[in-house]
Structure 1
Amino acid sequence: MAGNGGETTWCFSQVKGTLEDDVTEADLISCVEFNHDGELLATGDKGGRVVIFQRDPASKQCVPKKGEYNVYSTFQSHEPEFDYLKSLEIEEKINKIRWLKKKNQAHFLLSTNDKTIKLWKVSERDKRVTGYNTREEGGRPRDPTRITQLRVPTVRPAELMVEASPRRIFANAHTYHINSISLNSDQETYLSADDLRINLWHLEITDQSFNIVDIKPANMEELTEVITAAEFHPTECNLFVYSSSKGTIRLCDMRAAALCDRHAKLFEEPEDPHARSFFSEIISSISDVKLSNEGRYMMSRDYLGLKVWDLRMETKPVETYPVHEYLRSKLCSLYENDCIFDKFECCWSGDDQRLMTGSYNGFFRVFERGAGGGRRGELTLEAARDAAARPRQPLRARRVAATAKRKKDEISVDCLDFNKKILHTAWHPHESIIAVAATNNLFIFQDKF
């Protein structure tokens, strides 16, 4: 995957967002998601806004294809709220976006903040009706005494308008902050997860949900773990997985019982007692879990690495990929500045052969499965402003030196900027196009081959 001089087959395509240093908290991107055919790409931010980008038609026709997107629609999904009973502010920040499969001309997506999930319809309107009998063209009512003939309204072309309207609002079902939503393969139900509970919803019913997992102890002082992520199986509508802060993943089967407190499988890697430290439990907490597109494998992200599990083998992961092992010596300072609690997401390529996740200093990692490990099968790339000045130029592979001695093209671990976090990434479902959220900017890269 790397070429001469450290160049890779990945190249810069686009960057969306301002490149100014003065960035407000509300502008920070908090989630990124392609729809099922990759024609649309949605981002949510801390200000409660959803921005949808559409694939540029011309970019698909040229050879080789380009991964270029234009702004399609922008709307305010959530507003800040206040819970007067608990004297608690509810942020407008969008935690997750999930697309429904397209069934007609309109697009549908779910978005959620900490408490409320909304189903949005995004539709186009490029025609207008003219020639009403009872109203003038501007919408003003006509004087009935002056109507002397019957007019037949006609439909005429108009400037394209994209409208986003909320179709359902699913609220008041979570005591704690929602960290995950996942659509079922039946496209009729979905789950939402918070720290202690997972609820099952029907897309047509807003006033009730079924509690399918509840790990809240009778005495909260006995609480030992929380739910960190949950996802439905991509093809088996009765299966779902959820991860915990203890580094475990549970596979549940809804056919076994209405309340899935007893898991069907438990995926957990035995801890090496010799490597145990004060930070062991924190860095083993799983921040994201994603099932592969074909459904056999599962990827989990903890603080320092990625693990790939075979759903048929619970005892240990079949593949392990260190993301930034050089930070192990920095855990004390990362604990002091709270970076050790960052929640990194991960994603699969459309063919399940590559994995991607983020790191610090604007770096993100791409791993090629079955490459035998080593640097041939892994890449460290950077979402940086200087790439925006070189469209369609190959990205340079970056390397970090864990010790004071470093080579000419390496970056010292002491020089990393921990404010430049790549927490959210997404991979096009069919092509080698990736979207990377870096603070308030959305970088789009593509494999030039």
Structure 2
Amino acid sequence: MADFGTEDWRNRFSDAMMHTIAPPLAMLVRGEGCYVWDDEGTEYLDFLAGIAVNSLGHAHPDLVAAVTDQVGRLAHVANYFASPPQLELAERLKRITGTGPAGRVYFCNSGAEANEAAFKLARLNTAGGRRTRILTLHESFHGRTMGALALSGKPAMREPFLPVPGGVEHIDATLAALEAALDDTVAALFLEPVQGEAGVIDLPDGFLLRARELCTRHGVLLIIDEVQTGAGRTGAWFAYQHDGIQPDAATLAKGIGGGLPIGALVTFGAASELFQRGQHGSTYAGNPLVTATANAVLGTIERDGLVENAAHRGDQLREIITGLGSPLIAEVRGRGLLLGVGLTEPVAQRLAAAALSHGLIVNAANESTIRIAPPLIVGDAELAEFERRFGLALASL
């Protein structure tokens, strides 16, 4: 493996890469399980999992075997053709999302693309032109492409790119705001069950249930963004299942591919009939390589009970964090293995940097929140090591 040299690779990165992200924290070269190593041999406990992507951790043998086998058979074909992994994955997603026979699956390459497809789906729910509004929440995040950006409730992200596609209104995440805004002129309501980029913020109790009731009453599509919360991360296959509801559509990505780029829009019931032939498509989407990998990831999650593990380990992790007794810790939000540590002071960036210096990868979702999202395979040994390293980071501030 090449010896990059710290200054050399940082300079090369700055010279070669578009300056759309902050300078990288390290040059990571390999991983195994819940750990990664940089080019200098430093070990890190990865409790971010590529921002909730690496469901099985790093270099999981089932994922490696699936990629190796499929790339040796058939990696990509034009979407004029079907492939066995694609069909298997579509049927698997129908089963675990609970769509029933009427459900349908559209594959794409990312969470933003899944939300773009959902935006177009919403635009088709017109009721003869009467439905012109799409609702989403303040502080929500649905992606960085133009339609997904229009849906996102973060003005600072949208403003440099105005005008974005119109018809979107952002409301507060309160029952009162929901009831005041939702009527027969609304085509769709987009919701994240947990607002990850806002700081791992839970929806108010009863919000999803009330949203389902109102959407059904007014003929509004309830579209749940499960990009960060799906694939077992919150202790259910999908976070809306905690409330016992069915959406009209769900957008998926991140954890379903375990590291390979894949997204999906899954529709339920009558929403499955809105798209017609030729109204949407993608060259790479649903190719044999990524769908075979996603089948391996989801199959392993199911076989090894990792949805249940996420629920159990999430409870343990919450207890560990609160048990540290640090005056910096105000609360722990979220569910399962998607947790936000709310801080009493705006020092999240400093705390994330301190954690990295002690060999722990977490991130600052905002100035007062640390986001934690370890691989679903996390066990007792990794939790004990997290407790030690995070405790050291807290004590250093």
Q: Which TM-score band applies after superposition, normalised by the shorter structure?
A: under 0.3
> Quick one: higher RCO (CA 8 Å, sep 6+), 1 or 2?
2
- Higher gyration radius (CA): 1
Tell me the TM-score normalised to structure 1 length.
0.24
TM-score (norm 2): 0.26
User: Which protein is richer in strand relative to its size?
Assistant: 1
